[in-house]
Amino acid sequence: MKTITAYKCNKCGLVMYPYHDRCLNCKGRDFKEIAPTSKGKLLTYTVIEQLPWGMDERGRVLGVVEFDNGVKALGLIKDDAPRIGMKLKVNWEPVREMGGEEIFGLTFEKTK
Amino acid sequence: MRPVVVAGVGMIPFERRDEDSLMDMLATAGLNAMDDAGLGDRPVDSVYVGNMASGLFNHQVSVASALVDRLSLLPAAADRVENGPASGGSAIKNGFLAVASGFNDVVLVVGGEKMREVIGPKATDIVACMTHPEVEYIYGLTLPAMAGMFARLYMEKYGVTREHLAMVAIKNQTNGLLNPYAHIQMKITMEGILTHPQSHINSPVVADPIHLYDCCPVSDGAAAVLLTTEEIANKLKKPLVTIDGVGQATDTHTLQERSDPTDLKAVTLASEQAFKMAGIKPKDIDVAELHDAFTILEIAESEHAGFFPKGEGAKALERGETQIGGKLPINPSGGLKARGHPVGATGVAQVVELVWQLRGEAGERQVKGAANGFSLNFGGFGNNVLAFVLRRKS
Ligand SMILES: [Zn+2]
């Protein structure tokens, strides 16, 4: 599955996403590219009723997920009853249309 | 560094101003500040314009160059300062440094934004351009949505309730009724925005748990200050109010990279710097203008700036300590909630309000005897914050 690329500092081990040119902790410049694990838990979320221009939709749930390997990322939460701490599994799907083009990103659903 | 005096202040009422262009608003606010100072035909050395997005909202750029031309201030130096919702605060900081360093003697700082030229969802999109393009914007993240994710954690951690958020809205809109420059002139009640079974019609969800009455309105407006030296200010007519402390700090672009996303580190650091420079403490402040773009922010900032311990801001609000007449009135102007938030204007409008308060010119919303003021201008979602301490010179 295609996914995001996160970065682990070779010097101090800090996991970062998105990319920084220097480590947020130790200023190191060498990183190992890592992929998030397939599962994680929901740290916080919101349900957006007023989306920006070009997005005709209501009740879009966005949340920050911490993957099992420490990567943290925002994504689209496909669940009507989200709660903090819930276990989620990740997918890579279209999240928005921009300029007639489908943009792919992280989506999450409840693990069984 | 030499002392910097705010010798003149000016504003235009914040509202939807279909008849005025951005340049009309900047020019009027600028003239108001020059006239307030009694500057007359004396030259201005440089002009800073705080503005976030004239290119996107109004299809015009280089607005500082256009402003010196409108105001016949040529050949004054002119710069536009863009720092998101903290553009106004950043413009004041630049003006402060120009005078404090001795590089300039007279500086005009104008902040302004004309947001209502575009429809609401378009304005939401333009403001969302400050989020991270690859890891936030593509999901449809908005600023109210960031506030929603922040509020959910903050409320849980510190026991802040939706009733507390509504108290901020009610207090600030009550104050706004006393401010002729405030966009929202409407009394609201707890019943109407929260407790009545039909209240969700008045205050629908924007980004849960943030409701409509937790958000500032989208406004057009401009505000200006004239900064100068003590020597020149003494020849002008106004009582002296000086900028004694300036602080600025940054934090990570995204919320998810903060080890504790409820910790607004840049607010704490910017405030500490401003207090240290001014040589006074939070307890010495008589009046504060905080950046309540969302009600939760007034509570969180009042704690991070050092006025109350963490978790105590909502309790102080509950006890009425932050009302006009309370121990520390916060946002007597109505704040962003009632005055409005034309993004580039806000940081300047906060300082304008403090000057009126410290001079005793704030009319019905006057905080009695106010001598020390504090303002906080919050950019992005707390990733770039400015703080100012102003004092009346006795
Ligand atoms: Zn490192």
B218 backbone dihedrals φ, ψ, rounded to 5°: -95, 120
Domain definitions of chain B by residue range: 5-119+218-235
**Residue B247 pLDDT level (bands cut at 50, 70, 90):** very high
Least Cα distance to B164 among B325, B366, B308, B343 occurs for: B308
Considering Cα of B12, then B16, then B19, then B21, what sign does the dihedral take? positive
Residues B74-130 pLDDT 10s: 999 999 999 999 999 999 999 999 999 999 999 999 999 999 999 999 999 999 999
Pair (A28, A48) in one structural domain: no
Binary contact (B208, A46; C-beta < 8 A): yes
pLDDT at position B237, please? 82
Distance from CA of A10 to the nearest CA of B (A): 18
Contacts of B235 (CB under 8 A, 6+ apart): none
A99 and A58 part of one domain? yes
Question: A44 and A99: one domain?
Answer: yes
Q: In this structure, are A91 and A43 located in the same domain?
A: yes
My answer on whether A53 and A91 are in the same domain is: yes
Distance A22 CA to ligand 1 centre (A): 8
pTM > 0.90: yes
Q: What is the DSSP string of A37-104?
A: -SEEEEEEEEEESSPPTT---S-EEEEEEEETTS-EEEEEE--SS--TT-EEEEEEEEEEEETTEEEE
Structure tokens that stand for B229 in this block? 């030296």
Would you say residue B285 has pLDDT above 90?
yes
Contact A65, A44 (CB under 8 A): no
The CATH code of the domain that includes A97 is 2.40.50
Which tens digit of pLDDT belongs to each residue from B302-342?
A: 999 999 999 999 999 999 999 999 999 999 999 999 999 99
Task: Using the predicted structure, report yes or no on whether residue A17 has a pLDDT greater than 80.
Answer: yes
Beta partners for residue B114, in sequence order: B220
pLDDT at A109: 98
- Range B5-119+218-235: architecture per CATH: 3-Layer(aba) Sandwich (3.40)
A19 and A48 belong to one structural domain: no
Enclosing domain of residue A77:
37-110
ipTM field: 0.97
Token pair, residue B57, equals 């909202």
Shortest CA gap B258–chain A (Å): 10
What is the CA(A21)–ligand 1 centre distance, in A?
A: 11
End-to-end CA distance of chain B: 20
Interface test with chain A among B129, B156, B257, by most A beta carbons within 10 Å: B257
Rounded to the nearest whole angstrom, what is the distance from the C-alpha of residue A27 to the centroid of ligand 1?
Answer: 6
Same-domain check for residues A13 and A41: no
Hey, are the CB atoms on B148 and A47 less than 8 Å from each other?
A: yes
Instruction: Count how many domains chain A has.
Output: 2
CB B91 within 8 A of CB B97: no
Residues A80 and A41 in one domain: yes
From chain B, pick out residues whose CB is under 8 angstroms from the CB of A63: 149
The answer to whether A52 contacts B125, with C-beta atoms less than 8 Å apart, is: yes
Domain match, A13 and A54 both: no
Shortest distance, CA B31 to any CA of chain A (angstroms): 36
